[in-house]
Amino acid sequence: MLNRVRSAVAHLVSSGGAPPPRPKSPDLPDDTSAPPAAAAEAPKSPPARPGSASGSGASAKPGEARASFSRPTFLQLSPGGLRRADDHAGRAVQSPPDRGRRLPWNTGYAEVINAGKSRHNEDQACCEVVYVEGRRSGPGALRELSHGQGLCFHYWGLFDGHAGGGAAEMASRLLHRHIREQLKDLVEILQGPSPPPLCLPSTPESPGSCDPAHLVSPQSCWSSQKEVTHDGLVVGAIENAFQLMDEQMARERHGHHVEGGCCALVVVYLLGKVYVANAGDSRAIIVRNGEIIPMSREFTPETERQRLQLLGFLKPELLGSEFTHLEFPRRVQPKELGQRMLYRDQNMTGWAYKKIELEDLRFPLVCGEGKKARVMATIGVTRGLGDHNLKVCSSTLPIKPFLSCFPEVRVYDLTQYEHCPDDVLVLGTDGLWDVTSDREVAATVDRVLSAYEPNDPSRYTALAQALVLGARGTPRDRGWRLPNNKLGSGDDISVFVIPLGGPGSYS
């Protein structure tokens, strides 16, 4: 995510090379100690449990000042390992240890720090198995369904931070808890055979139950009602969890100094289906029998140009007097007043000429191409979490109104296809994809996995490492070079490889 917030980094980090003292991260109560009444509220920020095989995020204990940076706890890094992971010169590839408990599904993981562009690795990752208690509310008190009536989901998250690591770290510790919270009301509905009831009673003995006496069932309603699927409910739960995560960052940003923002790419496996939710420019693909199935698309100033321009057009006050919602192929210069220049407005995909007027001399809301495309000359991604403090450089104009925290969620039904041990879902931050095509990733999948026995549980981490090494390059001449002598990615790179079939899967 380096280079994706240009002016903002300069704005938020002092320019002398030495970063400002990193603010103390929030030390919120672990929700295991929270009173029952608080369990229904927004998830709090608990510290991660050091040594937990599947925990993520912070390694500090409650009450301790957090280390100046942290890596996912499933890496089980010693203090020395943590220092090596933070070394820009060595750029050692980090993976979970081969000994001990593996990540669920034998998931492979590897990461590497950037080549000196930010002080710390601003990517974060999380891999968890999350149990969702069904929620019932008795009169005046909340209580949970008896054990065994709940649901499990598997969860993987990659968080690519920018302008600071705080948002990515917070998201890696909490987003899956928001998803769990959203699913609590749906536990019984999702496990039942019927489509979701359109309407639930408000304060009955058993809200969320499918007791027909309490529910306005689809059959009793208008004939023109829409049928909502179970998938649609899970997608809605994930979407709302992203929004609630973002709102929590907004609430806590002052007290806890949540820095910057992050892209979020999240996978939820629930009841036979894989939900891939993406907000930002990370990417997920499935490689199945050598075939590539895209599971996400990137949200950038270019791909979201028309959404951004429409917002600027409808709410010109968001542009201040500094920006125009019109797009020009380059910055208009004062001497060109009165001439005619190519432009696009929010309704156009083509271009036309317009006479340049004074307002057109303002900076375009969206400008640049490819990795250099920017919103308000500042940020290169248009969806994600955080960024509540992000301002246009040398201005008080907030950028957040143009950013969306909502992911696009794609659903993949695992039961519809017989998967073999070489079929994988690959998640990567943009550091991977900037220098590696989908096709090259698929070729690496084939090359690496075929070198291991199908039931060797270490093959997926070996694949993740190969992908990270192939994108990072090796230190040659001046820079990290790829085999073709092009520069490798100088960005932080994080990769999950999730096997979709074979021994050890789904467990």
Least CB distance to its own copies at residue 23 (A): 30
Nearer to its own copies, 85 or 233 (CB): 233
Residue 284 in the binding site for its own copies (CB under 8 A):
no
Nearer to its own copies, 71 or 135 (CB): 135
Rounded Cα distance between 493 and 484, Å, is 19
* Candidate ranges 72-80, 231-239, 387-395, 468-476; the one touching its own copies (CB under 8 A): 231-239
What character string, x for contact with its own copies (CB under 8 A) and - otherwise, covers 51-90? ----------------------------------------
Least CB distance to its own copies at residue 162 (A): 21
Residue 235 in the binding site for its own copies (CB under 8 A):
yes
Rounded Cα distance between 10 and 22, Å, is 15
Nearer to its own copies, 204 or 475 (CB): 204
Number of residues interacting with its own copies: please give it, by CB under 8 A: 61
Nearer to its own copies, 221 or 451 (CB): 221
Nearer to its own copies, 406 or 452 (CB): 406
Distances (CA, A) of 20 to 13, 14, 17, 258, 294: 7, 6, 9, 14, 40
Among 85, 341, 427, 493, binds its own copies (CB under 8 A): 341
Residue 251 in the binding site for its own copies (CB under 8 A):
no
Among 238, 379, 397, 467, binds its own copies (CB under 8 A): 238
Which position has the token pair 């002598």? 485
The pair of three-digit structure tokens given for residue 143, joined into one six-digit string? 């209580």
* Candidate ranges 38-46, 259-267, 322-330, 497-505; the one touching its own copies (CB under 8 A): 322-330
The pair of three-digit structure tokens given for residue 252, joined into one six-digit string? 């806590």
Among 249, 263, 285, 409, binds its own copies (CB under 8 A): 409
What character string, x for contact with its own copies (CB under 8 A) and - otherwise, covers 345-374? --xxxxxxx-xx----------xxx--x--
Which position has the token pair 């949540």? 258
State the greatest distance between any 2 C-alpha atoms of the chain, in Å, as a whole number: 74
Among 243, 303, 395, 458, binds its own copies (CB under 8 A): 243
| 187 residue type, one letter | V
> Residue 343's beta-bridge partner residues?
352
Least CB distance to its own copies at residue 438 (A): 24
Least CB distance to its own copies at residue 290 (A): 24
Rounded Cα distance between 231 and 126, Å, is 23
Residue 485 in the binding site for its own copies (CB under 8 A):
no
DSSP 214-269: TSB-GGGS-TTPPPPPHHHHHHHHHHHHHHHHHHHHHHHHHHH---SEEEEEEEEE
Taken in order 424, 429, 435, 438, is the CA torsion positive or negative? Answer: positive
Residue 408 in the binding site for its own copies (CB under 8 A):
yes
Among 15, 78, 224, 415, binds its own copies (CB under 8 A): 224
Could you tell me how many residues make up the chain?
A: 507
* Candidate ranges 66-74, 154-162, 344-352, 494-502; the one touching its own copies (CB under 8 A): 344-352
Residue 232 in the binding site for its own copies (CB under 8 A):
yes
Specify the DSSP element, H or E, that contains 11.
helix 6-12
* Candidate ranges 46-54, 261-269, 309-317, 385-393; the one touching its own copies (CB under 8 A): 309-317
Classify 110 as helix, strand or coil: strand
Least CB distance to its own copies at residue 434 (A): 18
Residue 231 in the binding site for its own copies (CB under 8 A):
yes
Distances (CA, A) of 365 to 304, 388, 399: 12, 18, 10
Nearer to its own copies, 33 or 220 (CB): 220
Rounded Cα distance between 8 and 198, Å, is 45
Residue 14 CA to its chain's centroid (Å): 27
Among 191, 240, 395, 458, binds its own copies (CB under 8 A): 240
> Which residues 185-214 are close enough to bind its own copies by CB under 8 A?
185, 196, 198-203, 207
Residue 40 in the binding site for its own copies (CB under 8 A):
no
The pair of three-digit structure tokens given for residue 185, joined into one six-digit string? 């009301």
Classify 70 as helix, strand or coil: coil
Classify 467 as helix, strand or coil: helix
Rounded Cα distance between 91 and 489, Å, is 12
What number of CA atoms fall less than 13 Å from residue 163's CA on the CB side? 30
> Which residues 387-406 are close enough to bind its own copies by CB under 8 A?
404, 406
Residue 315 in the binding site for its own copies (CB under 8 A):
yes
Burial class (CB in 10 A: 0-12, 13-18, 19+), 340: exposed
Dihedral angle of Cα 169, 175, 176, 177, to the nearest 10 degrees = 110
Q: Which residues bind its own copies (CB under 8 A)?
A: 182, 185, 196, 198-203, 207, 216, 221-222, 224-228, 231-240, 243, 310-311, 314-315, 328-331, 336, 338-342, 344, 347-353, 355-356, 367-369, 372, 404, 406, 408-409
